[in-house]
Amino acid sequence: MLWVEDFESGLGLPSDEGGLWGFNNTNPHSGTYCYSHVPIADSQSATWTLTVPPGATTIQFWHAVSSEPTHDKLEFLINGVVKLTAHGTVPWTQSAVFNLAGATQVVFRYSKDSSVSTGSDAAYIDDIVFQVPDLTSPRTNNLNGGTNGTAITTGNSGGASGSPFTNVVGSPQFSNANPFGGSGLVATNGVAGADTHIDWQALGTVGDALYLRVYLYWAGAIGPATFKPLMALLGPTGVVSKVWMGNSTLKFRIATGGGTTAAVTGNAVMPVNQWVRLEFCYTIDSAGNGTSEMWTYLDPESAAHDDYVISPITAWPGGKPRTAEFHLWRDSGDAGRWYMDELAVGPDKLGPAPSTVSRRPRATVGASRAAHRAATW
C-alpha cells in the first residue's frame, strides 16, 4: 500500500518541526498546501524530523528550492546520512526512491551559510509517498508489558504487550484497576475530560476488509456527554468513520465521517461495570463504498455474539481506512470512564483473544442469552 502525505488534511504522521516548519499555500506542487519553513538567518538551519510509517520500505517525494546556489541548500537524510541535496533554482522535482531499511525517522533540513540570500531563500516539500506492506496478519496488544500508573507511549507499548502503538494522543496510562479476568493491566485515560487515544497506523489490507476488536469496561456514571467516542478510522484524505455510544440509548453507533450521524446502530445496551467484547468490520472498496459491521459479546470470551448489525452500502469519506484510533473516554467531571484491553486489528475476523480463553474466568450466561445465541449465530 502507499502512504501519502500531501498536506491537504493535516499531517498524518508524528513529526518534530522545531517550530520552524509548517504548512505553506504559496507554492504547492499539487492541491492547496505543501510543507516549508519560516525565514531563517545566515548561518542558521531549519530541521524537520518526520516519523516513518511502521514497516515502510521506501520513500519518494517532490521538492523545490529557491536559494543561493551551492551555499544555501536543502538536504534529505536517512539514519543521519545525506541522501539528497538541492540548491539554487530547482523547480518542483520528484526525488529518487530511497530505501528505508531500519529507519524510523527521516530528516529534511534547509541550511544557510554566513552571507547572501537569493530568490525566495526557501525549500518546499510536497506529496511524500511511503511504500508500506499490506496488513497480512493481526496486530494485537494486551497491555500487560507495561507498568501500572505510567504513561503509555509508542516506545513502551510493545514487547510483552504485543504490537506497539504507532501514535499516542493525550495521557493514556497503564492501569491495574478493573483488570479483565482479575489480573494484568488495561488502558485508561489519565486526565478527566481530555481527548486521549492510542493508535495503529499503516493498516492497508490486501482486500477491502479491515477488522477491529476491543475489550471494553465502562465504570461509573453516565456523565453529561451526549455521545462518548470509542473509536475513529482515518483514511488518506480524512476521517472515514467514528464509533460512539449514545447517552440516552447506551448503544453504540457507527457513524460516517467525523460526525455522529449513524450508518448503523447496535441493539445491545452497554452494561456498567462489566467487560464486553466489541468487534467491527469495514469492507470498503477503492471508490470508498461499502459496509460496516458490529458484533457485541456480553461474554467477552464467547464465540457466539449477543448482537450483530450491518450497515447498508454506504459512501464513506476519507478513503480506505489506514489508521485506527482507540479513544479512552473519561468524563470531564470524572464521573465515569472506560477501560480497554486486548485491542486488535487485522485482515480477518479476530474472535476472542487467545491469551484470555484458558486463563480468565468466564462470565455466567443465562438461559435466555444462550437461546438467543443459538438462534442468531
Q: What is the 3-state secondary structure (H, E, C) of 7-45?
A: CCCCCCCCEECCCCEEEECCCCCCCCCEEEECCCCCCCE
Of 44-48, 205-209, 350-354, the least confident: 205-209
Reduced to 3 states, what is the DSSP secondary structure of residue 319?
A: coil
Identical fold at 2-131 and 139-376? Answer: yes
Predicted local distance difference test score (pLDDT) of residue 331: 87
| Per-residue pLDDT at 313 exceeds 90 | yes
Residues 6+ positions from 227 with CB-CB distance below 8 Å: 244, 245, 246, 247, 260
- Residue ranges per structural domain of the chain: 2-131, 139-376
Predicted confidence (pLDDT) at residue 21 exceeds the cutoff of 80: yes
- CATH code of 139-376, in short, is 2.60.120.560
Write down the pLDDT at residue 100. 95
Q: Which residues lie below 8 Å from residue 354, measured CB to CB, with a gap of 6+?
A: none
Mean pLDDT of the chain: 89
User: Which one has a higher pLDDT value, 141 or 193?
Assistant: 141
pLDDT band (50, 70, 90) for residue 356? low
* Residue 251: count of CB within 10 angstroms of its CB: 18
Say which residue, 135 or 158, is predicted with more confidence: 158
Q: How confident is the model at residue 374 (pLDDT cuts 50, 70, 90)?
A: very low
Q: Is residue 267's pLDDT more than 80?
A: yes
Q: Is the pLDDT of residue 371 over 90?
A: no
Residue 84: closest CA among 93, 101, 96, 69: 96
Residue 366 burial (10 A CB sphere; 0-12, 13-18, 19+): exposed
Range with the lowest mean pLDDT among 76-90, 115-129, 343-357? 343-357
Whether the per-residue pLDDT at 148 is higher than 80: the answer is yes
pLDDT at 203: 87
pTM for this predicted structure:
0.75
CATH class of 2-131: mainly beta
pLDDT exceeds cutoff 60 at 368: no
Average pLDDT on 80-97 reads 96
- The beta-strand segments (E) located in 79-163 are 81-87, 89-94, 98-99, 105-111, 122-131, 139-141
